[in-house]
Amino acid sequence: MDKLTIRDFDPGRKRVFVRVDFNVPVEDGKVVDDSRIRASLPTIRALLRGGAMLVLASHLGRPNGKVVDSFRLRPVAERLGALLRVPVRVTGDALGLGTQDAVARLKPGQVLLLENLRFHAAEEANDPGFAKTLASYADVYVNDAFGTAHRAHASTVGITQYLPAYAGLLMEREIKMLSTLMESPERPFAAVIGGAKVSGKITVLDELMKRVDTFCIGGGMANTFLVGKGHTVGKSLLEKDRVEDAKRILAAAEERGVQFLLPTDVVVAKEVTRGAEHKVVPAHKIPNSWSVVDIGPQTTAAFQAALEPARTIFWNGPLGVFEVPTFGDGTRAIARFLARKADEGATVVVGGGDSVAAVQQLGLTEKMSHISTGGGASLEFLEGRELPGIAALLDRDSGRQGHAEERTAEPASATSAGEGARP
């Protein structure tokens, strides 16, 4: 999956439309986690050094096609400006005469951020008129938003019909690291899979089964596998309709000779809340009125022993109810262990919101080989699906490269921006 990147064109004096993923948590008008903004900085800085005029675009939250003041991007623009140490203006809307004027006034080295794209239903509908208007703001398109690459939206797919489309540096690294897991991992290759439900990860488990040597399964999803092995799990989260899938996956692991570790001891609590009574019990003796909230110390040690020889490790999903600190011991222990493995030269790729959050909270981000910015996108990539936002970019070895400069959009008129592109 070799795509043309920002290294393959001269951005000098060009208006470059960059789709970024600035869907970050904002509280009281301040960005409280800027990791996704920081992840975009290499691409933004490289284009600015090259003399580009940048039009950045992102979504924030789920406004469902309506203007929601709490989802405005001004706090994001302020944080980005502080990181870049250059002013970042944000438009009042993604469309309209004011936005056209702001784009027209851009000079090399300047940055403009469009207001939340999802204030327009046309964005998620991949409306051609909306896409064409966005394209009219620029000469070149760059997608650096891997977290939205699995969505066929106007700013990720539709716009590429009108502009030559390149991968940003973050997008390039995401593709490279995740492709390595699927195509050429150094062995032994292990996967640590957690999270609440197995239903959203069945396909990725099936795909990884063809490639990994060891699975370590924790989190709420492990309960379904425990039931598949004949255990009871009390009041714990359980997907009864997925027990047969769990049995099938367990059988496949045995048939292929894949080590498939489930918890042997667990932390259980009377209530899944902070301060609740809790204790460690064997996984086959979970009390009827208690819930599993974490892996136990015996399981943590067993997972670490199984992962010790691994040269490539993929981790997705916490191993307990990580948002309650008391129930996050297993997740934190595995995070620290994987950081040490990466420090010793193993390739450790972390994907998934809560597992990434654990790494960030412990200050281990820089230790890991790669922290994926895409939760759902990462899983779909590993499932072997074609992600629309990646497929739409120019291939390095294809006829599309020769026609890259032929994709152009007419400058947006007041009519097209104000009427044709609006939902």
- Angle, helices 221-228 vs 243-256, to 10°: value is 80
- The β-bridge partners of 89 are 112
Instruction: Return the pLDDT at 206.
Output: 95
Judge residue 9's burial from the number of C-beta atoms within 10 Å of its C-beta, 0-12 exposed, 13-18 middle, 19 or more buried.
buried
Q: Do 330 and 218 contact (CB within 8 A), yes or no?
A: yes
Q: Please give, one letter per residue, the 3-state secondary structure of the chain.
A: CCECEHHHCCCCCCEEEEECCCCCCEECCEECCCHHHHHHHHHHHHHHHCCCEEEEECCCCCCCCCCCHHHCCHHHHHHHHHHHCCCEEECCCCCCHHHHHHHHCCCCCCEEECCCHHHCHHHHCCCHHHHHHHHCCCCEEEECCHHHCCCCCCCCCHHHHCCCEEECHHHHHHHHHHHHHHHCCCCCEEEEECCCCCHHHHHHHHHHHCCCCEEEECCCHHHHHHHHCCCCCCCCCCCHHHHHHHHHHHHHHHHHCCEEECCCEEEEECCCCCCCCEEEEECCCCCCCCEEEEECHHHHHHHHHHHCCCCEEEEECCCCCCCCHHHCHHHHHHHHHHHHHHHCCCEEEEECHHHHHHHHHCCCHHHCCEECCCHHHHHHHHCCCCCHHHHCCCECCCHHHHCHHHCCCCCCCHHHHHHHCCC
Q: How far apart are CA 195 and CA 269, in angstroms?
A: 18
pLDDT classification of 357: cutoffs 50, 70, 90: confident
Instruction: Return the pLDDT at 138.
Output: 98
Catalytic residue among 14, 74, 173, 197: 197
Catalytic residue among 65, 109, 376, 418: 376
In the predicted model, what is the mean pLDDT of the chain?
A: 93
User: Mean pLDDT throughout 20-45?
Assistant: 95
Give me the sheet containing 265-269, strands edge to edge.
278-282, 265-269, 291-295
Say yes or no to pLDDT of 423 above 60: no
Q: Which phi and psi (to 5°) does residue 115 adopt?
A: -65, 160
Say yes or no to pLDDT of 75 above 60: yes
Reported residue count of the chain is 423
Say yes or no to pLDDT of 406 above 60: no
Q: Do 217 and 396 contact (CB within 8 A), yes or no?
A: no
Instruction: Return the pLDDT at 375.
Output: 80
Q: How far apart are CA 155 and CA 157, in angstroms?
A: 6
Catalytic (active site) residue 36:
yes
Q: Do 346 and 310 contact (CB within 8 A), yes or no?
A: yes
Residue 49: which residues within 8 A CB-CB, separation 6 or more?
Answer: none
- Angle, helices 297-307 vs 329-343, to 10°: value is 20
User: Mean pLDDT throughout 118-139?
Assistant: 98
In this structure, the strands spanning 53-57 and 111-113 are: parallel
pLDDT classification of 353: cutoffs 50, 70, 90: low
Catalytic (active site) residue 376:
yes
**What pTM value is reported for the model?**
0.89
Say yes or no to pLDDT of 133 above 70: yes
The token pair at 398 is: 């294809």
Instruction: Return the pLDDT at 413.
Output: 37
Q: Do 306 and 190 contact (CB within 8 A), yes or no?
A: yes
What would the pLDDT profile of 294-321 be if each residue is shown by its tens digit? 999 999 999 999 999 999 999 999 999 9
Residue 230: which residues within 8 A CB-CB, separation 6 or more?
Answer: none
What would the pLDDT profile of 95-115 be if each residue is shown by its tens digit? 999 999 999 999 999 999 999
Catalytic residue among 36, 72, 118, 201: 36
Complete domains list, the chain, with CATH: 6-164+394-420 (3.40.50.1260), 175-382 (3.40.50.1260)
Say yes or no to pLDDT of 408 above 50: no
Instruction: Return the pLDDT at 115.
Output: 98
What would the pLDDT profile of 147-179 be if each residue is shown by its tens digit? 999 999 999 999 999 999 999 999 999 999 999
**42 preceded by a cis bond (ω within 30 of 0):** no
